[in-house]
Chains A and B, each alone.
Chain A
Amino acid sequence: MSDEEMMEGGVQKKFCYINRKAPYGTIYALESLEVVLIGAAFEQDVSLIFMDDGVFQITKGQDTAGIGMKNFSPTYRALEMYDVEKLYVSEESLAERGLTADDLLVDVEVLNAEQIRDLMEQQDVILSF
């Protein structure tokens, strides 16, 4: 194993979080974000993919005042401070929903299906939510 692969306290793996569910209707998006935040402390190589309804997690303009739930969308903007910087979004999922990258509240890299396929194949651990 190369030095690059060795981190303090052990191995560095490629962790990929796949987010396919919309926020608020179910808790998966929120609790997935909690895993990402805690996981950041482990200094792994982390990627987040937003696809299917998961793209709705990071759209601008969320206002939860009327449903009495916490709006956790600003937290995605804080991911950078946790060194979680590889955010990818499915081009097709955006297009299907009439969205573009301008509708999103974080900087992302937009990938087509083939690129997402390749990205997933490079991972060591995939956490699906």
Chain B
Amino acid sequence: MLHTVNKSPYEKNTFESCIKHAAKGSAVLLIEDGVYAVLKGSAAAAKVQQAMGDITFYALEPDVNARGLKGKVMDGINLVDYAGFVDLTVKFDRVQSWL
């Protein structure tokens, strides 16, 4: 399953709820304000790091760049564009948008 998260981890518990309920082998794509979770050295990045063994993390690059996070994304995050977003929804059987 593909999960998307569009909230900053500092604003709502959306990101936390998502990683708590994402099964092993699933993917989490951070979009919109969700991309703040992968800012290098941040509190949320530590949580991403912890979950990385079981979950593959992606971030939407246009959203990363728009927010000035280019070059500040933690290691191990796969950056995708909108075409890559579409590909992920094809690759996984279903999409759960954490709003």
Contact = CB atoms under 8 A, between A and B. Distances in A.
Contacts of B21: 113, 116-117, 120
Interface of B: 1, 13-14, 17, 20-23, 94-99
A51 B14 CA distance: 11
A5 interface: no
29 contacts: A18-B96, A20-B98, A20-B99, A51-B17, A52-B13, A52-B17, A92-B20, A113-B20, A113-B21, A116-B21, A117-B21, A117-B22, A117-B23, A118-B23, A120-B1, A120-B21, A120-B23, A120-B96, A121-B1, A121-B23, A123-B94, A125-B94, A126-B94, A126-B95, A126-B96, A128-B96, A128-B97, A128-B99, A129-B99
Q: Which 3 A-B pairs have the closest CB atoms?
A: A126-B96, A128-B97, A117-B21
Main DSSP-derived SS at the B contact region: mixed
B17 A20 contact: yes
B98 A128 contact: yes
Nearest to A52: B17
Nearest to A116: B21
A31 interface: no
A81 to B, nearest CB: 28
Contacts of A109: none
Contacts of A121: 1, 23
